[in-house]
Amino acid sequence: MIDSLTSASIALIWLIAIFVPLEWARPMWPKQRRLRRGVATDLAFFAGQHLLFAGLVVWLFASAIELLPELSALEGLRAEFRGQPLALQAVEAIVLGDLAMYWGHRLQHRSAFLWRFHAVHHTAEQLDFLAAHREHPIDGLYTQFFMNLPALILGFSLEGMLGLVAFRGLWATFIHSNARVRLGPLAVLFGSPEFHHIHHLRQRDVGNYANLAPWIDHLFGTHRTRAEPATELGLDRPAPQTYLGLLAYPFRGLSPFRGLSPFQWFRKSRRSGSPGSGQSGHAGPPRRAR
């Protein structure tokens, strides 16, 4: 735990050192407060990712590499892939991972069930480098699955996959930052805050799904541009703004006792004879209204 806390602290210091000067020197939103609303919540998400869920991701990757059976149909492809220079392997893994994640990301916005979890990321109404870490852990595991599935199938090493995760994480932090950085002709190849902030508009299906590689949005007709920075960010409905509230947010409406306090839930469950209440299914005669 101490090692995780140390590494998380070092990572946060590095991100502050990189992005705070950039955001202050060239802000996309000049009027946005430096200590904006929601920064404490995003710090909590950052801590949760590094102290709780990062170890789970590493364990899942290691388990998948160890348990994934050798598929005879892929043995030749894997041998050719591993025979290439490491830099070329990394480029191929990134491109294939971006293609997979593009469709996975579009599905997050189309599927009502997946949107429950992905919507947590879109609750941020102001963006900076910390807002990139506002991500429900289930949504984060989904994202890691799609981004790294091609590398996993091709037999990329665990160290290489973790390196890709770190690289993608840094780029995700960049495209959420409150920094006006124009990449010129390279904007077709590499994502930037200019395009990704448009993705965070309140419309659920606005476009710009390829975080790292805008050429994929160009290829499939979902690339969007604006003359001015995107405004009206967030969701089109109220949402919690606390860490615990956002962790519970995807599960709203799934309980038959939604909207009740724990005490009210207990009383109603006992009257209705719900499982675990110790009552039969008969609720008894209704009480008189007071």
Q: For tokens 């220079």, name the residue.
A: 85
Contact criterion met (CB below 8 Å) for 102 and 15: no
Q: Tell if the pTM clears 0.75, that is, is over it.
A: yes
Q: How far apart are CA 137 and CA 32, in angstroms?
A: 28
User: What is the reported pLDDT for 130?
Assistant: 94
User: What is the reported pLDDT for 72?
Assistant: 58
Contact criterion met (CB below 8 Å) for 192 and 28: no
Domain ranges of the chain: 7-68+75-251
Q: Where are the alpha helices (DSSP H) in the chain?
A: 2-25, 39-48, 54-67, 72-82, 86-110, 112-118, 137-154, 158-176, 193-199, 214-220, 243-248, 262-272
Burial of 69 (0-12, 13-18, 19+ CB in 10 A): exposed
**Residuewise pLDDT in 10s, the chain (290 residues):** 557 788 888 989 999 999 999 999 999 888 888 788 889 999 999 999 888 887 777 777 777 766 665 555 667 778 888 888 988 988 999 999 999 999 999 999 999 999 999 999 999 999 999 999 999 999 999 998 888 888 888 888 778 888 888 888 899 999 999 999 888 888 888 888 988 999 999 888 889 999 889 999 999 999 998 767 667 899 988 899 899 999 999 998 765 545 555 455 555 555 544 334 444 333 433 444 43
User: What is the reported pLDDT for 282?
Assistant: 39
Query: What's the CA dihedral at 167, 170, 172, 176 to 10 degrees?
Result: -160
User: What is the reported pLDDT for 219?
Assistant: 95
